[in-house]
Chain A
Amino acid sequence: MPTISVDKAALFKELGRDYTTEEFDELCFEFGIELDEDTTNSDRPIVDGKQEPPQLKIEIPANRYDLLCFEGISLMLNIFLGRKPLPNYRLTQPAQMEKIIVKENTMKIRPLVSGAVLRNITFTQAGYESFIALQDKLHQNLARQRTLVSIGTHDLDTIKGPFTYDALPPKDIKFVPLNQTKELDGEELMAFYEKDRHLGKFLHIIRDSPVYPVIHDANQTVCSLPPIINGDHSKISVNTKNVFIEITALDKTKVEIVNRILVSMFSQHVAEPFTVEPIQIVSDHNNETRVSPDMSPRTAQAEVSYINECCGLELGPAEVCELLKKMAYDAQPSASSPDMIDVFIPPTRADVLHQADIMEDVAIAYGFNNLPRSFPSKSGTVAQPLPINKLTDIVRMEAAMAGWSEVMPLILCSHDENFGWLNRKDDGNTAVKLSNPKTLEFQVVRTSLLPGLLKTIRENKHHSLPMKIFEVSDVAYKDLSLERKSRNERHFAAAWCGKTSGFEVVHGLLDRIMAMLKSAFITGEEGLENPAVSDSHYWIEELEEATYFPGHAAAVKLRIGGKVQTIGAFGILHPSVLENYELKYPVSTLEINIETFL
């Protein structure tokens, strides 16, 4: 969730009263934003010899782009409090509309452009800073770090339309970038900003393209090189009167959302508030010729019965419309049906997709905590554990009753921990591998519970010996036959660490668990069947595996329902395995697949 800082005194002035921190926190809570911090009583930084005035740091829900700046928060809270009416956002009708002519070449790199003009704007210093900050917030969030959308703003009085949006070879684009003095071409610019802390991270978006997007004015002055940087020539300042906004993009929906948010927020500061001067986009090659932005509200209908059912309320259409006004909608009972209301969704509310969103705003306006509370007990349902979890609990219980302690290591581990350190080879068909882990600690999904048990022993050197630990949990395997190309398997594993190997001890634990799962032990010599449990038998066979000390490992064989399978193994770990895991004492382990017993 984005967090924004607003000047406390200025906001309270806009809201027409002072709030205590608790009162303001309560207001935020009801409205659905979160007061993170009030810096009144904290050490605030000193900027240019002056201490920063107290700030309110407010967390904004990720879908409310209209609350990402001071202008938006103060307006929406004032509307919520009933102190201000809904703004009537509208377009002016200029004698001559500014124009952006789009060249087909832009299809190769960044095909969409939009824009607007804020005419006769008056910035205060705070308003100007807020304008810049909102662009940053939009770039970070909705625009996905400028990949999808990027904004350029210009002092219209320094440039002259019509503008062209083209894509040219980097060498052919020459201009002085914002706040620089030297002219650079596209290639030089990439080198120049390579190490830049702020801009460096955006270069990849176009760097390897044969053509870079560029916006020129009628005099071939470079206005911007989207999505990296504007030209110095047309830069705006607090004194700029007329702002030309161009927005380039890959995403058709988001480019208009960004446009509407930006101009609606700052249309508060133009001579005739809430008016925006549209521009003409000429883009016949991709059917994107249009006038932009569209500031008209989106009309939608909502069912009063649906809203009431979801909220558990019995409101009339007019009451619903009143509540919606607090949330910055214009709404009225519909002529088409007594159960319908017509809702006019302002251009700032891109998050409203469905009447569910309108219903939620009714509930917020009513107050979540004021809703009549009930208990949804109409229908009886039957509680039921997942069979594998029920089986797991049986095994866990038996292991703990036998005196073993349960541990919960991580499921992700390194490739070495899962294979090499256990003297196991990766055949490439076993483990699920991660493509983008942040650390080498997490490279694969474990295929065995042993690495976690051994790491637990390693981290518990201070514990008295012997250590007896177990885990019953999932491992995952590649399985190309399935939709998700992998499957989990529930394993039981235990490890003994002591001054002696504990080989018979883990063997004994196996016997105990098998007995509790009604599986009878048979030896090769006896071959006896126990009629009481004739459906399930197990036996062990000597196993040669590099994980274990030679001659001291066994495979666990199970015949269940007439089918014979190997369900696991136990043994004394090979000293080289101990060394890999930095273990100084002998360890014996047991690991079996328990899914067979389902």
Chain B
Amino acid sequence: MASDMTSPILDALSASDAPILSSTAFPSTPSLNIKSALDRLASRDMVKYDTIDKEVVALTKEGDEIAANGSHEAKVFQAVVAAMDGLKIGDLPGIVGKDNAKLGQGNAFKRGWIKKDKDLLRATAESIVDETREQLLTVQKTNTLDDQKALTDLKRRKLVSIQKVITFQISKGPKFAREFVKEETDLTADMLVNGSWKSAHFKPYNFKAKGAPTPAGAFHPLNKVRQEFRNIFFEMGFEEMPTNRFVETGFWNFDALFVPQQHPARDLQDTFYISDPATADPPREDPPNDPHQLRSAQLTSSSTTTPEKPRDYQQYWDNVRQVHEEGKYGSIGYRYPWDPQESLRLVLRTHTTSVSTYVLHKLAANPRPARYFSIDRVFRNEAVDATHLAEFHQIEGVIADFGLTLGGLIGFMEVFFAKMGIHQLRFKPAYNPYTEPSMEIFGYHEGLAKWVEIGNSGMFRPEMLESMGIPKNMRVYGWGLSLERPTMIKYGVSNIRELLGHKVDLNFIETNPAVRLEKD
């Protein structure tokens, strides 16, 4: 490094017992070069230094010239004296140069050194003192001038200027040494090859700064919470239901769940109805080779598999009609004329329970203990605001078994919610057209210091289950909660639009920490 001043500085310091001044030791080295060397040395505690700022007077380029060769007027005077017998005015520029002639002639007149005699210039003084030059020489030597008036005059004539000069007072540091070894900023492959890493000095790492940002992809925070819930379900032996079906019929979404046709949930105000395609077919067997079928039946070991009864869809349809219209299975029913057309209207599913119903109907062909879950989008014809969107995710769980009790549902919920860090639960009687008993689940929120409703649960009604052919002694728990609500409570999001939809901030997605429900 041509401008590396580290060695000269160390040399100068070792030659001196006292601190040195950069202006004396290295008068001609630019201060920037000195500073960078000092910083490197100081970072290793080899030197200490103080910075001294000073204002000095310095010659301009023109001032330098005058200090060396005399002022314009002095040059003119010399030329006139040299001509012995007067100098022709026209010849002056040729001898002293155009600039000197123009500026010097006037000043020499003013000082009374020469006079004009027709077209000749004649000297009027024997000898002169070139004050300007004298002053400039003083400045050059001392960087100052005591005569303030003269200094101002020189400044006006742009022969001198005021400059800021930085001087460093340098002394030895605690780790002073004669030799400065170059610092390496990084360990490189070359160093490994040539072995220089063994002797190299490494620049200390800045432990106060962040590292280089790492390029990263990200999952959506809501999907991260979803994954936590899926894991909880998997840990507890649940099979995922085929909820990849947004469009449902009134039958599967409502009637089969024993929701009467005049129920407010079926209002245009609450449910999205489909105008195109117009109307559904009555329930029937799925097309063969549907890749979205449940796999659990295939997993059951062959020795325990009982052959499935053929499903009679017409019977199911008739059962549903009867249980609404006249009552069946020990129920008096709702006793209203059931309209098949209403059942064939297409809707966007208002809950994933339509799929649970479909899955339970499949189960009825071979009733056996089963646990199902789903987490997927549902649709409500809601006016959009901070807590409502026309779409959200429903988390749903279903357990079918013989001899299930209400206390078992409560006990299950305690384990389920404990897995997401909620340990205090209580249960409120509630109403839901397709579960009886129905319980709202409240969890105690430590942060908010209050009970918060966290889900709904119940046992599906016999009217719904027995219509499918589920035996009377098999009972089925169902529970549900939204994915968004616990996420909003956990992470303090107050506006659902900041969590789902296109208005979500990408930076939020990219910087949201990993979700650990049991810890957060």
Chain A residues close to B by CB (< 8 Å) = 1, 29-32, 34, 61-64, 141, 144, 148, 251-254, 298, 309-312, 351, 353-357, 359-360, 363-364, 368-369, 371-376, 378-389, 396, 399-412, 428, 431-439, 441-442, 445, 452, 455-456, 458-460, 463, 467-469, 474, 476, 478, 480-488, 490, 595, 598
Q: Does B112 contact A (CB under 8 A)?
A: no
**Chain A residues within an 8 Å CB radius of B505:** 460, 463
Determine if B332 is an interface residue (Cβ-Cβ < 8 Å). yes
Name the contact of A251 in the complex, choosing from B262, B292, B477 (C-beta under 8 A).
Answer: B262
Question: What are 12 A-to-B residue pairs whose CB atoms are below 8 Å?
Answer: A353-B331, A371-B405, A373-B410, A409-B502, A432-B274, A442-B272, A469-B506, A476-B246, A482-B287, A483-B281, A484-B248, A595-B291
How far is it, in angstroms, between the C-alpha of A406 and the C-alpha of B233 when the chains are bound?
23
Q: How far apart sit A333 and B264, CA to CA, in the bound complex (Å)?
A: 38
Residues in chain A near residue B412, CB distance under 8 A = 375-376
CB under 8 Å from chain A, chain B span 253-281: 262, 264, 268, 272-281
The answer to the question of B507 belonging to the interface, with a C-beta cut-off of 8 Å to chain A, is: yes
Q: Which 10 A-B pairs have the closest CB atoms?
A: A32-B429, A379-B369, A312-B405, A61-B431, A435-B275, A400-B217, A455-B502, A312-B407, A485-B277, A360-B437
Contact of B242 with A by CB under 8 A: yes
Task: Knowing A382-B239, A385-B240, say if A456 contacts B502 (CB, 8 Å).
Answer: yes
Select which of B272, B291, B459, B504 is within 8 A of A388 by beta carbon.
B291
What is the count of residue pairs linking A and B with beta-carbon distances less than 8 angstroms?
311
Point out the residues of chain B lying under 8 angstroms from A403, CB to CB.
215-217
CA distance A323 to B293 in the complex (A): 45
**A-binding segment of B88-96, B163-171, B333-341:** B333-341
Cβ of B507 and Cβ of A463 under 8 Å apart? yes
B436 touching A381 by the CB < 8 A rule?
Answer: no
Instruction: Tell whether B399 is near chain A: CB-to-CB under 8 Å.
Output: yes
Bound-state CA distance A484–B429 (Å) is 35
Contacts A384-B295, A434-B348 given: A376-B408 contact, CB under 8 Å?
yes
User: In whole angstroms, how far apart are the Cα atoms of A474 and B407 in the complex?
Assistant: 38
Which residues in B have their C-beta under 8 angstroms from that of A435? Answer: 272-275
Counting chain A CB atoms within 10 Å of each CB, which of B222, B234, B245 scores highest?
A: B245
Interface size on B, residues (CB 8 A): 114
**A485:B296 contact, CB within 8 angstroms:** no
Instruction: Tell me which of B114-122, B136-144, B199-207, B379-387 binds A.
Output: B379-387
- How far is A255 from B274 in the complex, measured between Cα atoms in Å? 32
* Complex contacts, B436 vs chain A, CB 8 Å: 354, 356-357, 359-360
Most chain A CB atoms below 10 A, which of B406, B412, B463: B406
Contact B475 A310 (CB under 8 A): yes
Determine whether the beta carbon of B391 is less than 8 Å from that of A411: yes
Interface centre among B220, B295, B462 (most CB of A within 10 A): B220
Question: A381 to B408, Cβ gap below 8 A?
Answer: no
Chain A residue nearest to B442 in the complex (CB): A29
Task: Please give me the residue from chain A that is nearest to B237 by CB atom.
Answer: A381
Q: Which one, A312, A353, A401, contacts B327 given CB within 8 A?
A: A353
Across the interface, A485 reaches (CB within 8 A) one of B233, B247, B399, namely B247
Report A-chain residues with C-beta under 8 Å of the C-beta of B427. Answer: 368-369
Decide if B217 touches A436 in the complex (CB within 8 Å).
Answer: no
Instruction: List chain A residues, Cβ under 8 A from B283.
Output: 483
* A486 contact from B277, B403, B406, B507, Cβ within 8 A: B277
Alpha-carbon gap, A147 to B379, bound state (A): 26
Complex interface: chain B residues within 8 A of A251 (CB): 262, 336
Q: Which residues 287-303 of B have a CB within 8 angstroms of A?
A: 287, 291-292, 294-296, 299
Residues of A within 8 A of B399 (CB): 376
Contacts of A254 in B (CB 8 A): 336
User: Which residues of B137-182 are within 8 A (CB) of A?
Assistant: none
Whether B510 and A485, one on each chain, are in contact in the complex, defined by CB atoms closer than 8 angstroms, is no
Q: How far is the CB of B355 from chain A (nearest CB, A)?
A: 10
A442 and B247 within 8 A (CB): no
Q: Do the beta carbons of A406 and B404 come within 8 Å of each other? A: no
List the B side residues contacting A401 at CB < 8 Å: 217
Give bound CA distance, A488 to B406, whole Å.
36
The answer to whether A378 touches B336, judged by C-beta atoms less than 8 angstroms apart, is no
A410 in contact with B389 (CB, 8 Å): yes
**In the bound complex, what is the Cα–Cα distance between A410 and B384 (angstroms)?**
12
Q: Is the CB of A376 within 8 A of B411?
A: yes
Bound Cα distance from A8 to B150, whole angstroms: 99
What 0/1 readout, one digit per residue, does chain B (418-448) give for beta carbons within 8 Å of chain A?
Answer: 0000000011111101001111000000000
Does B241 count as interface, using CB distance less than 8 angstroms? Answer: yes
B218 at the interface (CB under 8 A from A): yes
8 Å CB contact of A363 from B218, B222, B239, B437: B437
